[in-house]
Amino acid sequence: MADITVVKRDGSKRPFDANKINLTLLAVSEGLPDQIAKVAQIAAELQLTLFDGITTEQLDEALIQTAVQNVKDDPDFDTIAARLLLRTIYQQVLGDYTNEIELKKLHAQKFPIYIRQAAKEGLLDKRMADSQLFNLKKLAAALDPSKDSLSKYLGVVTNRNRYALRRQSGDPIEVPQFTNMRIAMGLSFNEANPTEAAIDFYRHMANLEYSPGGSTRVNAGGSFPQLSNCFVMEVQDDMASIAKSIRDTMFIAKGTGGIGISMNKLRAAGSPVKTTNTESTGPIPFMKMIDTALFAVSRKGKKAGAAAAYMENWHLNFPQFLDLRQNSGDPYLRTRFLDTAVFISDEFMKRVQDGQDWYLFAPAEVSDLNELYGEAFSRRYQEYIKLAEAGKINRFEVVPARQQFRQILGSLQATGHPWLTWKDAINLRALNNNTGTIHLSNLCTEITLPEDENNIATCNLVSMNLSAFLNADKTWDWDRLAVSVRSATRQLDNLIDITNTPVAEAMHSNEQNRALGLGYMGLSDVLEKLEISYESEAAYDLV
């Protein structure tokens, strides 16, 4: 490959050095079975991607992607890809190094410089560099780059692309352990001893015992500390509420929040607008406005905010709602960024099972259905059917329940939308249903919190990694799990006091309710380590 020239980061040129590539591959494949064969395979496949004038960055990426494309055949290539990517990140942020000892020293040397400079540039909260709060030298000494080996390639690349801090130019200024320590510091401002608290939080995260939610990972310690993850709001049927909901969506999305938005109260298309003596266009155009707002505040590859619109399937415009995510059709009646979810009642599923009809109503004529669930919903819904058949309801449509359900499932298969959520199951089983009807879930459909005009329900997330607490002898380390859960809970409690969401109703709800979402991940890893089939009775008993 003597005719291949590589352009280095400083602009100078040098001939492609296959021997250097082989040495790099030997280093990143150390300890793996069939090391020489794997090195030879990647080196040979790399040759197919080379071209004259390739840059160092392109060469690094080609090497990584060559390893990635072989992961499907041998998971050891995932380890190689992760190590290659880590080497690239280290070199970009810290500079060259020759061994692990030098790498750890570079972490300790560069971390205080990074914190002070980023705070000076306005990328980080000025408190991060406050010597009255944090002992940066002590924090730097606690950094452990060997913990990077715990992450798979997907974890490393996701952290680099979505969570690690960058300058406006796009240049990265964080290695993975800098990111973990930044998060830990950003959640320790209100501790009596912020340095010790940050080290405790850091060690749990570095060991992959728990992971904060995405918004926390992006914004903790930053100049825009919107740290809460999930937001749930209901749009009221008036222009002021619609406009404010669009505004609130923009500000929450700016801070990378995930939003659930109930559009169920909005009057159906064709309903009268008394103030202007006209007819409403219905909820769909307003969903398009929210969709456009989400696009407008996208974050150029960094983790972006996102939202899902919810609607109950008795709404007269539900058929149009079903089509929102279709690829064809009027672009003004389609959304590309706004996800959709349907809030389904038990009454509907009973009618599907029994082959009965399903009635669609205009919300203005059946306004109390939005607040009812369970048997109360079924009774009232059946009363409205009788009123419709008696000619006492002006606008309604009748479809076979099974037909609508097939349409829902067909759309789900074709577009991935709408997501199915269950109104009665959520409200009947929610621990906080005494505070009001739950009208929807959030973007990810795991949060069930009541909201109202004065409260945008807010939740703050951490996921415990179950596989981190399974010992080599396949027993559980319950004591370490208990310590880690306490640490994660304290971190979340701090988050509520530190976060700053520029939406008053969300801040009020967060401070008053202090909702913590302590979930878990790593179940499939645990089942694999225990050699338990996912669908087995043993797996059911474990969960």
* Contact yes or no for 28/83 (Cβ under 8 A): yes
Q: Where are the alpha helices (DSSP H) in 121-238?
A: 136-142, 153-158, 176-186, 194-206, 214-219
Distance CA 243, CA 392 (A): 33
Q: Which residue from 11, 18, 26 is spatially nearest to 87, judged by alpha carbons?
A: 26
Residue 129 within any structural domain of the chain = no
Distance CA 143, CA 168 (A): 26
Distances (CA, A) of 316 to 7, 228, 260, 268, 395: 61, 34, 21, 6, 8
CB contact set of 81 (below 8 Å; sequence gap of 6+): 64, 67, 68, 71, 153
Per-residue model confidence (pLDDT) at position 514: 94
* Contact yes or no for 467/250 (Cβ under 8 A): no
Residue 185 within any structural domain of the chain = no
Buried b (16+ CB within 10 A) or exposed e, 448-478: bbbbbeebbbbbbbbbbbbbbbbeeeeeeee
Q: Which domain holds residue 404?
A: 230-459
Residue 186 within any structural domain of the chain = no
First and final CA of the chain: distance in angstroms? 55
CB contact set of 302 (below 8 Å; sequence gap of 6+): 161, 162, 166, 218, 256
| Count of beta carbons in the 10 Å neighbourhood of residue 382 | 12
The rounded average pLDDT for each run of 10 residues, N- to C-terminus, in the chain (543 residues) is 81 91 94 95 94 93 96 96 97 94 97 98 96 97 97 96 90 96 98 98 98 95 94 95 96 93 95 87 95 84 84 98 93 94 98 98 96 97 97 96 98 96 95 86 92 93 96 95 98 97 93 93 94 92 87
Distance CA 180, CA 133 (A): 18
Distance CA 238, CA 7 (A): 60
**Last residue of one domain, picked from the residues 93, 115, 146:** 93
**What CATH number has the domain bearing residue 441?**
3.20.70.20
Per-residue model confidence (pLDDT) at position 451: 92
Residue 156 within any structural domain of the chain = no
* Contact yes or no for 363/268 (Cβ under 8 A): yes
**Last residue of one domain, picked from the residues 93, 109, 130:** 93
Per-residue model confidence (pLDDT) at position 431: 82
Secondary structure of the chain: what % helix, strand, coil (to 5)?
50, 15, 35
Residue 99 within any structural domain of the chain = no
Residue 490 within any structural domain of the chain = no
CB contact set of 322 (below 8 Å; sequence gap of 6+): 407, 408, 411, 418
What DSSP character marks residue 373? -
Residue 325 within any structural domain of the chain = yes
Catalytic residues: 442, 444, 446
Helices (H) and strands (E) in the chain, counts: 21, 15
Per-residue model confidence (pLDDT) at position 206: 98
* Contact yes or no for 360/322 (Cβ under 8 A): no
287 class by beta-carbon count within 10 Å (0-12 exposed, 13-18 middle, 19+ buried): buried
Per-residue model confidence (pLDDT) at position 304: 78
**Last residue of one domain, picked from the residues 65, 93, 121:** 93
Angle separating helix axes 176-186 and 100-120, nearest 10 degrees: 50
Residue 72 within any structural domain of the chain = yes
Residue length of the chain: 543
Per-residue model confidence (pLDDT) at position 301: 56
| Count of beta carbons in the 10 Å neighbourhood of residue 351 | 21
CB contact set of 30 (below 8 Å; sequence gap of 6+): none
Distance of CA 115 to the CA centre of its chain: 26
Distance CA 256, CA 297 (A): 9
* Contact yes or no for 172/89 (Cβ under 8 A): yes
Per-residue model confidence (pLDDT) at position 277: 86
Per-residue model confidence (pLDDT) at position 2: 57
Number of domains in the chain: 2
Per-residue model confidence (pLDDT) at position 299: 61
